[in-house]
Chain A
Amino acid sequence: MPAQPLELILARQFGDSLSMPFFLVDPDGNLLFYNEAAEDIFGLRFTDTGGMREEEWATMFKPTDADGIPIPPSDLPLVRTLTDRRPAHGSFYIDNLSGDRIRITVTSFPVEGRPDRYLGAIAMFWKSES
């Protein structure tokens, strides 16, 4: 496995040190890392999942709107960021692997390194009131 670019290594270190949920993907949407605070929301440890492809993480938590209607992956903030390389924001519900339905609010943004290398994206999210 080739080593990751410095920017992603530092991003992972940064995310690992936060108490806010943090989710890091590469330019193809492959999951690289999520932190302990995200583990608490997902009900799943990163060491148990390892890397996942976009189609896996975008569906495994069954994102829905307030009426329980499934949200297509393309409408999720992080997938929108991966698609158009712009920040995105939104709130929706997920079913975590502990069996709880949780409303989360997600802000995602692209990771761009010097001088203009597109390296992936970060999503930071919060458990929000229903």
Chain B
Amino acid sequence: MKVKVWGCRGSLPSPGPENYTYGGNTSCIQVTHGETCIILDSGSGIQRLGKFITPAVREMHILLTHLHIDHTMGLGFFAPLYNPDIEIHIWGPATAGHPLIDRLRRYFSPPLFPIRLTELPNHPIIHELSNEFFSIGDIRIHCEYLCHPGPTLGYRLSDGKATIAYIPDHELRLASNDFPNDPEWTSGYEIAKSADLLFHDGSYTAREYSRKVGWGHSSIDDAIAFAKMCKVKKLAIFHHEPSRSDLEIEQMLQDSLGNEELDFEVQMCAEGNEYNLEDEVENSPER
């Protein structure tokens, strides 16, 4: 699997020279494996991704963790949606009452957006998910509901050789009994366990989190403790606060790690990062 980060900012796009290293686009990750193209979330990063799709692609799958605006705002600006030769599948969390297509129509309708789903050349094919296993091409996917306001899924993707886990918005401490000592009672454990690469919410410092309990996000310290519990090989901290500059993001990691020695790598996720999980080579950002 090849993984590219097109956006890792949380809440709101944050362009600006002070955010050059980590980027300003909101959640969007591309996973490719042979002919299979999967996109995790359609934040503002998906707009740029749309310009780099190879002409041979005829089918794409967008897996939405949830429908908060920073994870969906780019959808209407994704050029392949307007290409009649490409079939788009949109997967997202089921609720108890409102079909996913109705919730997507709220975005694809005035006053939020001028074009309706029915006006696209091909109506996207909608799939509702709850806790389940399914496959797209050769990629095996496991999704589960996670602790975050509103129905929210985490995704675990595996090609049989490597596994990535995507948990961009997640409040660990609210949904864990005796965190981080009890995997059986920790939200997201089944998604992240033993992953080669985990993208996980680390929006806040521990001090900030104490004032934002219940907002649906985790501290960087909790994200690291979770990765340690799950025995992942690499952790990419995700969902950077929109007000946080490159320097502040780097300082946040330094403060959190201190002198602690971990047996896995921790990095602050940066837009443009690429991970080749076939040969474990990571390329630095060239956005």
Contact = CB atoms under 8 A, between A and B. Distances in A.
Interface of A: 1-7, 9-10, 12-13, 16, 113-117
Nearest to A116: B96
B185 A114 contact: no
Contacts of B190: 2-3
Contact of B175 (A1, A6, A16, A117): A6
B145 interface: yes
7 contacts: A1-B184, A3-B183, A6-B144, A6-B175, A9-B186, A9-B187, A13-B177
B204 interface: no
B174 interface: yes
B205 interface: no
Contact of B185 (A3, A7, A115): A3
Contacts of B146: 6
Nearest to A5: B131
Contact of B144 (A5, A10, A12, A115): A5
Q: Which of A2, A9, A113, A116 has the most CB of B within 10 A?
A: A9
Interface of B: 93-96, 128, 130-131, 144-147, 151, 174-177, 183-187, 189-190
A3 B94 CA distance: 21
Given A3-B186, A4-B185, A114-B95, A10 B147 contact: yes
Contact of B176 (A1, A2, A9, A115): A9
Given A6-B147, A115-B130, A117-B131, A12 B189 contact: no
A10 B175 CA distance: 6
A13 B184 contact: no
A113 B95 CA distance: 9
A115 B94 contact: yes
A109 B138 CA distance: 41
B184 A115 contact: no
A114 B273 CA distance: 34
Contacts of A3: 183-187, 189-190
Contacts of B145: 5-7, 113-114
Contacts of A9: 147, 175-177, 185-187
A4 B93 CA distance: 18
A3 B180 CA distance: 13
Nearest to B95: A114
Nearest to A3: B189
Contacts of A6: 144-147, 175, 187
Contacts of B186: 3, 9
A114 B96 contact: yes
Contacts of A115: 94-96, 128, 130
A16 B95 contact: no
A117 B131 CA distance: 9
Contacts of A2: 184, 190
Nearest to A117: B130
Most chain B CB within 10 A, of A1, A5, A114, is at A114
A112 B140 CA distance: 27
B91 to A, nearest CB: 14
A7 B94 CA distance: 15
Contacts of B177: 9, 12-13, 16
A6 B130 CA distance: 11
Contacts of A116: 96
A4 B178 CA distance: 14
A2 B191 CA distance: 11
A60 B171 CA distance: 38
